[in-house]
Amino acid sequence: MSASSTPGHSRLTKAHKLSLAGVATLGAAALAFSLVPAGAADGAAQARPEAVVSVAPVAWSQSVKQNLNAQQVVADQKAKDAAKAKAEAQAKKDRDQKAAASRSAVRTPVFANNLDGWIKEALFIMKKEGIPGTYSGIHRNIMRESSGNPRAINNWDINAQNGIPSKGLLQVIQPTFAAYHVKGTKFDLYDPVANIVAACNYAADRYGSMDNVNSAY
**In 10 A of CB 195, how many CB atoms?**
28
Structure confidence at residue 1 as a pLDDT band (50, 70, 90): very low
The predicted structure's pLDDT at residue 21 = 52
With a CB cutoff of 8 Å and minimum separation 6, the contacts of 79 are none
pLDDT for 9 beyond 50: no
With a CB cutoff of 8 Å and minimum separation 6, the contacts of 150 are 118, 168, 169, 190, 191, 192, 195
Half-sphere exposure of 133 (CA within 13 A, CB side): 33
The predicted structure's pLDDT at residue 40 = 44
- Compare 69 and 29 and report the one with higher pLDDT: 69
Q: What is the Cα–Cα distance from 122 to 172, expressed in whole angstroms?
A: 15
- Compare 22 and 214 and report the one with higher pLDDT: 214
Q: What is the Cα–Cα distance from 63 to 56, expressed in whole angstroms?
A: 11
Q: What is the Cα–Cα distance from 114 to 70, expressed in whole angstroms?
A: 73
Please indicate, yes or no, whether the overall pTM of this predicted structure exceeds 0.85.
no
Strand partners, 153: 167
The predicted structure's pLDDT at residue 36 = 46
| Residue pLDDT, tens place only, 142-153 | 999 999 999 999
Q: Measured in whole angstroms, how far is the alpha carbon of residue 32 from the centre of its chain? A: 82
pLDDT for 23 beyond 50: no
- Give the type of residue at 120: K
The kind and range of the H/E element at 33 are helix 14-35
Helices (DSSP H) in 108-152: which residue ranges? 115-129, 135-145
| Residue pLDDT, tens place only, 154-209 | 999 999 999 999 999 999 999 999 999 999 999 999 999 999 999 999 999 999 99
| Residue pLDDT, tens place only, 68-119 | 788 888 888 999 999 999 999 999 999 998 888 777 666 779 999 999 999 9
Structure confidence at residue 7 as a pLDDT band (50, 70, 90): very low
| Residue pLDDT, tens place only, 39-68 | 444 444 444 544 444 445 666 677 777 777
